[in-house]
Amino acid sequence: MDLSRLVDEALREIDTAVDENALIQVRARVLGKQGALSLQLRELGTLAPEARAARGKDLNDAKMRIEAAATARLEALRATASATRLASERIDVSLPACGPSLGHMHPVRRVESELIEIFAGLGFEWVDGREVETEHYNFDALNIPADHPAREMQDTFFVRPGVVLRTHTSPVQVRTMEKRKPPLQVITTGRVYRHDKDTSHSPMFHQLEGFLVDDRATFVELKGVLYAVLRSLFGQNVEMRFRKNFFPFTEPSGEIDIRREGSWGGRWMEILGCGMVHPNVLRNVGYDPDLCQGFAFGMGLDRIAMLKYGIDEIRVLFENDQRVLERF
Ligand code: PHE
C-alpha cells in the first residue's frame, strides 16, 4: 500500500478510536509484528542500496508520526475517562442529610432514675439485689408459707428446686436487714419474674422496693412518703387512691392506684403494694419486733412508666421497637 495513504488511514483510525482497546488494535494492525508498516520496514533489505536510505527515512518518519499520534490519543482517552468517572462519582451536597439518630433513656430507666433521685432526697439509700434467689429469701423469710398460691409452679419460674427467679424485690429487705441494724432507709430496683402475661403483665418486669425500719416508723409516715414521692413524679394534682390489700410480709397492708386521663384508658391502675413490716419478718432477720418497726413498699416501674408516658400496653416497653420508643 502507498505509504502516505497508509499513514493517513492509520492517523484517522487513531483519532477516532473510541477507547484504549480500539487504539491497541489500530497499533497492532500498523505497527505490530505483522503490521502493514512493519512489513514494509522488513522489505527494506530487498531494495537496492541507493534507494534504501531514503525509503528507510520515510518509513521511520511515518512510524514516528503514528507512534506520536497513538500516544497523544491514549492520553486524551485516559483524560476523558477520568473526567467521566469524577463526574459520575461527584457527591451531591444539596441532597437532604440523613443524620445519626440520637438515642435516649428507655422510659422504664427514666422513671427508675427519677425515682431513685426523689427517694435520695428523702434519705433513702439505693442497694443492689440478685435476680436469682432461694425460696428462703423470696418466700419463707418473708412469711410466705409453703402452701401460698404464689409459690405454685404457674406463678414462679424455678431455676432448680429451692432456687427461683425472684418474683419480687422484697427479698432485698431480708438480705439487707440481716446484714445491718436499724435505723435503715433503703431502696432497691431491678428485674423480677412471674409466669404472667396480658396487657398490663409481662413475665419480666421491674420493681422498686423500699423500706424504712427504726424504733417508731408509722403507717402515716408510710402514706406521707408515698404520696410525696408520687406527687413529685406525676405532679401535685395526680389522682391517687389508697386501698387496703393483703401481703404475708406486711400488716396492715395497702395499695395505691393511680388514674390518668389518656393513659391505660383512663382506668385506675394499681402501681404499688405497701404496709408495715410483719413482726414475723423482723423476727426472721433477728430483729426484736418490740424494739423496732418499719414500713415497706414495692412499686411496678413499668406500670408507672405506662401511666407517666401514656402507654396502654406493657409489651410496648419490651419489644424494643425504636420507632415506638422514640415517642416517649
Ligand atoms: N412484693 C410485693 C409485690 O410484689 C409488693 C410489696 C412490697 C408489698 C413491700 C408490701 C411491701 O406485689
Give tens-digit pLDDT for 50-61: 888 888 888 889
260 in Cβ contact with 238 (< 8 Å): yes
Task: Show the ligand 1 pocket: residues with CB < 6 angstroms.
Answer: 168, 170, 209, 247, 250, 253, 273-275, 296-298
37 in Cβ contact with 6 (< 8 Å): yes
pLDDT at 122: 97
Nearest CA to ligand 1 atom 7: 298
pLDDT at 165: 97
CA 274 to centroid of ligand 1, rounded, Å: 6
Atom of ligand 1 nearest to the CA of 142: 1
Residue 139 exposed, middle or buried by CB count within 10 Å (0-12, 13-18, 19+)? buried
Q: Does residue 129 carry a pLDDT above 90?
A: yes
CA 265 to centroid of ligand 1, rounded, Å: 25
264 pLDDT tier (thresholds 50, 70, 90):
confident
CA 210 to centroid of ligand 1, rounded, Å: 9
1 pLDDT tier (thresholds 50, 70, 90):
low
Looking at every residue in the chain, the average pLDDT score rounds to 92
- Quote the cell numbers at residue 167: 418474683
Q: Does residue 265 carry a pLDDT above 80?
A: no
Q: Does residue 204 carry a pLDDT above 90?
A: yes
In the chain, the percentage of residues whose pLDDT exceeds 70 is: 99
In the chain, the percentage of residues whose pLDDT exceeds 90 is: 63
Nearest CA to ligand 1 atom 10: 274
Sign of CA dihedral 142, 147, 152, 158: positive
192 in Cβ contact with 168 (< 8 Å): yes
Angle 264-270-272 from CA coordinates, rounded to 5°: 135
Q: For ligand 1, pick from 166, 170, 253, 269 the residue to mutate: most ligand atoms within 8 Å of CB.
A: 170
179 in Cβ contact with 188 (< 8 Å): no
- Total H helices, total E strands in the chain: 12, 10
The average pLDDT across 224-236 equals 97
Helix, strand, or coil here: 37? helix
Domain regions of the chain by residue span: 3-88, 107-325
Of 99 and 240, the one with more pLDDT: 240
Nearest to 271 by CA among 313, 305, 244: 305
Contacts of 314 (CB under 8 A, 6+ apart): 199, 200, 201, 202, 205, 302, 303, 306
pLDDT at 328: 81
Atom of ligand 1 nearest to the CA of 273: 8
Nearest to 173 by CA among 87, 294, 313, 1: 294
pLDDT at 270: 95
Give tens-digit pLDDT for 132-191: 999 999 999 999 998 888 777 668 999 999 999 999 999 999 999 999 999 999 999 999
Query: Considering the domain 107-325 in this protein, what is its CATH number?
Result: 3.30.930.10
